[in-house]
Each structure stands twice: as C-alpha cells, then as structure tokens.
Structure 1
Amino acid sequence: MAFLRNRRRRAALALVLVAPAVAELTLGSVPVRMLWLVVLYVPIYGAGVLLIREVVRRTGGGTGALLLMGLAYGLVEEGLALQSLTSPHLYGAAGWGPRPWGINAPYAELNLIYHAVFSVLLPVTLVELMFRDLGRTPYLRRGGLIGTAITALLGVGLLRVSVPPSQDPGYLLPGRAALVILGLAAASVVAALVLHRRRPASSDRPAPGRFRVGAVCAIAAFAFLALLFPFAGAHHPVFLPRAWAPLPMAVAALVAAAAAWRLRRWSAATGWTPRHRLAAVSGALIAHTAFGLVSHTRDPLDTAGLAVIGAVMILLLHRLDHHLATGTPDA
C-alpha cells in the first residue's frame, strides 16, 4: 500500500513538472535566458493540469473530456489571467487578423486548441505512459485534490498580477467579456463531465506503423502552428494580408479536425498499442519544438538552448519507448 501511494505521488509530481515543460519550455515560449519565468507557470500549469486529470479520471472521462477541460483551461489562462484573447495590445495579437466582438480571432484559435492539446492532453498522456501500472486511477486523495485546486486558483491570480501589469499596462478585461469567458469555460467543464462519447467500433484493419503515426502527427502539428502563428517576420498568418486571416484559420481548423479523426480511427484498429500513442505524442512534440526554433528564438543563446532542450526531449521519449517495448517501469 505504501509503495502504491508513493507511485501515485511520483506520478502527480511528474505531471506538475511535465505540463509546463511541454507547453512552454519545449516550444521556446520561455527563452532560455529567462528560464526563471517558468516558476510563474508551475502553479497554473502544474496544479491546473493535475486537477483536470484527477477530475476527468474520477468521472470516467477519456480523451474528449481532457480536450474539453483543456479548452476550459485555455479560456481561463488566456482569457482571464493574461487577458490576451481580447487585449488590443498584448503580444501584438490584435493585429493578426479580424477581431469579431473584440476577440483576437486567430490568436484565440491557435491558443485555445494549443492548450487543449499541448498543455493538457499530451502531458497527461505522457505521464500515464510513464506510470502505466497506475492506469487511469486517481493520483491524489481528497486532501491533495483540494490543495491542488487551491494552488491552481492561486496560479491564475499569480499570472494575472504578474504578466498584464508589466506587459499590457492599462488594459482591463471588460466585465461583460469576463462573464462570457467564464460561461464558455463552465460550459466546457460541464460538457466534459456529462458527455462521454463512445469509443469507435473496433476495426479489423491492422494499426498503422508507428513511424507513420508519428509523421502524420508531426505534419499536422507543424502545419497547424505555421498556419496561425506569424513567424519569420510576418505580421499576419502565413504572410497573407490581415483581411485574409480567415482563410488560414479555416485550413488550420480542418487540419486539426482531420488529425483528430484519423487518430480516433487508428486507435480502434487491431494492434494499437501504448507505443503507438507515444509515437503520436512524440511526433507532435518534435514538430512543435521544430516550429519553436523557427518562430520563437531570435537570440543565438535561446536558439542553442531550445535545440538542447529538444535533443533531451527526444532522448527521453526514446527511453520511454524502450521501456514500453520491454515492459519495464520507467519511473
């Protein structure tokens, strides 16, 4: 019993560390020269994603529930804590494309889907593969769950009082917008808790090769990011005029939907294994770090640092794949 409790604690701690590492470090959003900034993100990312995982697994939710909760997470972080979904100044996001109802539309599409996938789904999947003997059982007891919820809430406040005042002074989210964002986040949470989609019917077709799975996820992840995030000196998505931004937005949505549909079909195939899941995760992570090298690094030190982070990430993913292949515990 003590061994099992220790394993659960280690799994919870791993998720607290993996979530901000995947979402911020491996993309280069936090430059190597400013790694100390990760401290600001550990409470909201670490505790927030751990709380999401615990709630979803306790209520029997699967991938769809994690994505919906990830959407709610993105609405809270970007909409309420950073105010970036509506700010006319922060990150220059207002200039990317149209702003219907005062919403930075391309930025919102990019970051809400990014948080659902890279901030929540992928970290939870990685840690569950690392501690696969625990399956989908909760990592925390009631006291730990309450403490995690409090820490996540404090993390929202910490981000709110640290980033907007320094990066976007003078802007305050309108009350009506705050209520709409809260309502959308609450609706996402409710949907995650009550709507449980059935798994697709098992297919007689064999599962595709792991390289193919990883390659498809890598291409989809890189394409999605490149379609929405202005990079290489561009001020609007894919170097198009600002008024044309809805076009790459639509293509990016199709890319995300097609990748999700394909993975759902593949996961029902005969022979789909945890190594296939890891291949999907690895492809997406490697592609998003590659995109970070293209789009997020301007200083040579930051470029070298992100390249080292990417290399270490690949080695760790390879190690996890080896443990999955041999059936030995990784953590």
Structure 2
Amino acid sequence: MTNPNVVTAPKHSSVKRSLPALGLFFLSPLVAEFLLGNIPVSAFYAILTLAPLYGGGAVLIRELVRRRGWGYPSVIVLALAYGVIEEGITTQSLFNPNYADLRLLDPGHISALGMGAPWTVFVLGLHTVWSITVPIVLMESVSRRPREPWLGKVGLWVYGMLFLAGIVATTAFGYSKDSFRASTGQDVGVGIAIVVLIALAVWIGRRAPRRTTGSVPSAWIVGVVALALSSGWMVVNDQVKNGWLEAVLLLAIEVLTVFVIVTWSRRTGWTRMHTLAAAGGALLTYAWHAFPEKPVFDAPHSTDLIGNAVFALLAVALLISATIRRDKFGDS
C-alpha cells in the first residue's frame, strides 16, 4: 500500500517552481552566519562557499520531509542531525579543544567524551533552530506551495551533490588549517547519533499528529514569547561564566520552549501564521544579537554595524513579506 501522506513532485518541474529551493539555498547561510553577525558584510563573498553546506542541507531536509508528508517536528530532528554532521564531522568543534584558538571545550568539560557541555548544547541549538528550521519556515511562508515538493529528481540530485561537496570542502579546509583529528570512538559516536536522529525523524513523521482542543494565543504573542525565550537563551550563553550552570540553563530554556510550542501547536487553533510567528521571534533574536557579536573576520567597526543593520532590515522585510503572503493565501 502507498502512504497517502506522501507527496510526489510534478513530472515536469519548472524553473519557477524550484525558485523557493534556490532561495532557501542562500537564505540558510544568510541567517546562520551573516544575520548572526558572525561574518561581516565585507566578507559577503563567503556565502558562495557556505551555501552548499548550509543551504544544501536545508533544501534536502525540507524536500525529504515534504515528499514524505511529514511535519516540522521531523524538520527539527533532522536539523539537529545536520548540526551533528557539521560540528562533529566537518569542523569537529565538538571535540577539538583548541578549535579556532577559542578553547570552547574548557567550560563544563566532559573528559570521558572529550566534549564541552555548554558548547555542545549551544552550537547544536544554533544549527537546529537558526541554520535549518527558521529558514525553512520563512521560505515556505512566502511560497504558494508550502507543503509540496519544490524539486524533481534532477533537482534533488543537484542539491544532494552540492551538499556532499559542501561537506567535503569544509572538512578538507578544516583539516588543512588544523592537525586535530577526532578519535575513532568519537567518530563512531557521531555516526550513531546521526543514524538515531534520522530514525527518530522518520518515526515522528510517520505518527499521526495529535490535535487537542484548547485556546491558542495570538500569533503576536507567540512571536513575542519566541523572541523572549530565544533572546534569554543567547544571553545565558553570553553572560553565564560557569560552564555547567550555563549548560543547565540552556537546556532548561530549550525544554521550556519545546514544551510551550508543542503544547500550543497541537491545538486545533494553531495555524501556519503561528508557526511563522515563532520562527520570526527567533529570527529577530539573531538580528539584535548581531550588534554585540564579534565577527570572525576582521572588519572596521562601522562596516560591521552597517552590515548588521542591513541584514536586520532585510530580516524584518522578509518577515513582513511572509506575513502578507500568509494573510493572502491563508493556511494553505
């Protein structure tokens, strides 16, 4: 028997139909690195090297989920798997004690795993929410076909090759700059984690969504709550100096956020506008956090501030556009 939830791409996929995938391909690194303030506008050329990894991953996750008829819970779990791939394989920041000369693993160090508790929680959270999930929600919100595949078989193959190229290129670049190599045990652990997360995403996707009755706050309230929770999460990472306390607080905010969003989203009054509002709140957190963020590339302070302002304005413009589109096309 065929799965009634599975959605197939059209046999004659047009260039116009695939444009949202191309938009997501570039939006993902824009949000992940430039809106965050991690890379200044003066190094905007870096998007060409970042897009295959970030954008390729986002497009493949989105297409897999929509082709199988799954929902955002599967997107989130696969986004976490993406984070494990990037930080556990390509950059190895989860295990490298001197990654980028930052000593990220010293706070809350777990000697048995060779990992730092707060850094692991923080960086995987960044990728799960902002690198993958938020860009997918935003691009689907401005698309007329938010639940349908955007790519045919050829398009999937192209983006798959781009993603693979991004993994290989990023890994090779990291190896050329740093002699550190994760241990065999760490590599095996990363592989197991990726397989488990993919299996979990499949299991969640195949389960029928549970809907309950109950009131849902307005989309504006959902957005404000998402902004407050994600902002608090970033402030904890910036201000709390005790590694173990930081890890506990980060996890506590994550659990609270999941509980609140899952509780609301299961109710019949939850709409795609609420989903957009939640993603929008997180997006605005990156927008304000870019200003105190120190970029990894040297740039004049004025240039950095101008770039942050431009990216923040673009983020607001995208949110307004997505909101208008959702009002126009409803919850389709």
> Do residues 69 (structure 1) and 75 (structure 2) align?
no
**Match of residue 120 from structure 1:** 132
**Match of residue 279 from structure 1:** 277
Please give the per-residue CA displacement for 1:186-231, whole angstroms capped at 9, x wherever unaligned.
Answer: 21112112333543423232x2122211111011111112222x4x
- The answer to whether the 8 A contact 1:200-1:265 is kept is no
Partner Cα distance (2:52, 2:263) in 1: 35
Counterpart of 1:149 in structure 2: which amino acid?
G
Identity across matched positions, percent: 26
Higher deviation after alignment, 105-114 or 190-199: 190-199
**Match of residue 217 from structure 1:** 226
State the 1:12 CA deviation. 1.2
Higher deviation after alignment, 63-72 or 32-41: 32-41
In the comparison of the two structures, how many residue pairs are matched?
A: 313
**Match of residue 37 from structure 1:** 46
Higher deviation after alignment, 88-97 or 302-311: 88-97
**Match of residue 7 from structure 2:** none
State the 1:51 CA deviation. 0.8
Please give the per-residue CA displacement for 1:57-101, whole angstroms capped at 9, x wherever unaligned.
Answer: 222322221111111111111111011110011141123332342
Partner Cα distance (2:328, 2:151) in 1: 28
Partner Cα distance (2:68, 2:127) in 1: 21
Output aligned runs, 1:49-64, within 5 Å.
49-64=58-73
> Do residues 255 (structure 1) and 264 (structure 2) align?
no
**Match of residue 165 from structure 1:** 176
State the 1:23 CA deviation. 1.2
**Match of residue 244 from structure 2:** 246
State the 1:145 CA deviation. 1.5
**Counterpart among 201, 204, 226 of residue 214 in structure 2:** 204
State the 1:7 CA deviation. 3.9
Q: How big is the alpha-carbon RMSD for the aligned residues of Structure 1 and Structure 2? A: 2.2
- The answer to whether the 8 A contact 2:141-2:325 is kept is no
Partner Cα distance (2:98, 2:184) in 1: 18
State the 1:45 CA deviation. 0.9
Structure 1 residues not aligned, in runs of 5+: 231-237
Higher deviation after alignment, 118-127 or 32-41: 32-41
**Counterpart among 281, 306, 309 of residue 308 in structure 2:** 306
- The answer to whether the 8 A contact 2:264-2:270 is kept is yes
Partner Cα distance (1:80, 1:151) in 2: 17
Report which of the two has the higher share of helix: 1
- The answer to whether the 8 A contact 2:211-2:268 is kept is no
Partner Cα distance (2:16, 2:129) in 1: 25
Partner Cα distance (1:58, 1:270) in 2: 24
State the 1:239 CA deviation. 4.2
Partner Cα distance (1:137, 1:14) in 2: 16
Counterpart of 2:310 in structure 1: which amino acid?
V
- The answer to whether the 8 A contact 1:61-1:192 is kept is no
Output aligned runs, 1:132-151, within 5 Å.
133-151=144-162
Counterpart of 1:290 in structure 2: which amino acid?
W
Structure 2 residues not aligned, in runs of 5+: 1-9
Could you list the runs of 4 or more consecutive aligned residues of structure 1 that deviate by over 6 angstroms after TM superposition? 1-4
Partner Cα distance (1:268, 1:283) in 2: 19
- The answer to whether the 8 A contact 2:138-2:319 is kept is no
What is the TM-score normalised by the length of structure 1? 0.87
